[in-house]
Amino acid sequence: MVTIYLFGKKYSVPGELTIMTAMEYAGYKLVRGCGCRNGFCGACATIYRIEGDRELHFCLACQTQVQEGMVIATMPFFPLIKQVYDIETVTPSQQLMMQLYPEVYKCIGCNACTKACTQGLSVMQYIAYAQRGDFKKCAEESFDCVMCGVCSSRCPAGISHPQVAMLARRLNGKYLTPEAAHLNDRVEEIGDGKFEELLSALMEKPLDEIKELYHHRDIEQ
């Protein structure tokens, strides 16, 4: 058992639990900020300190194991600026970034966003790519972002990093990435029912066998 503090209250919980399961063990009923529970949705952004240590740590509650003396506060929502645009009519230019998210040019290079990222991404670097209108590199660098918003909560310039990254990934996918003709052909084949028998057989397999097939599949170069 380890001692933790949830929202200022002291609890004793099993040390093998995650922060999220420790909250439920302590009696909290989670109706918000719990999402997928597998590290993908970013809904369970959490800030904690270890008792006696001044450093702030940032994590996802569903992925982080409790520690002795952990002082915890969750942050299930942070007000990001989300601009509205029509992906069918915009162009992948630096002017678009200046128009929609001009605050990226106020970045002071403090790197607080990168230090806070729950996924360990180089956030300040992908913002630098966005400033230059290099949407392909911005998209690649931010690919694993789960949009938890912790980076923005630490930004003195008020940048909405996840929304900037989302714009870059959409522009990259829509305009910059070459069209995958073979993928279009495969989608058409699926629509024609070519793989129904194969898919039915796959769905009948145990989950462990499906995972094994997935991890050892042939990956196209």
Do residues 60 and 39 lie in contact, with contact meaning Cβ atoms separated by under 8 Å?
yes
pLDDT of 221 over the 70 cut: no
Q: Alpha carbon 24 to chain centroid distance?
A: 23
Lowest mean pLDDT among 2-6, 54-58, 97-101: 54-58
pLDDT at 31: 85
Q: Which of 214, 131, 188 is nearest to 165 (CA)?
A: 131
Contact 61, 4 (CB under 8 A): no
Q: What is the pLDDT of residues 33-78, one digit of tens each?
A: 888 999 889 999 999 999 889 899 999 999 999 999 999 998 877 7
pLDDT at 204: 94
- For the chain, domains (ranges, CATH) are 2-74 (3.10.20.740), 94-176 (no CATH), 182-215 (no CATH)
pLDDT for 183? 87
Tell me how far apart the alpha carbons of residues 76 and 80 are, in angstroms, rounded to a whole number: 12
pTM of the model: 0.78
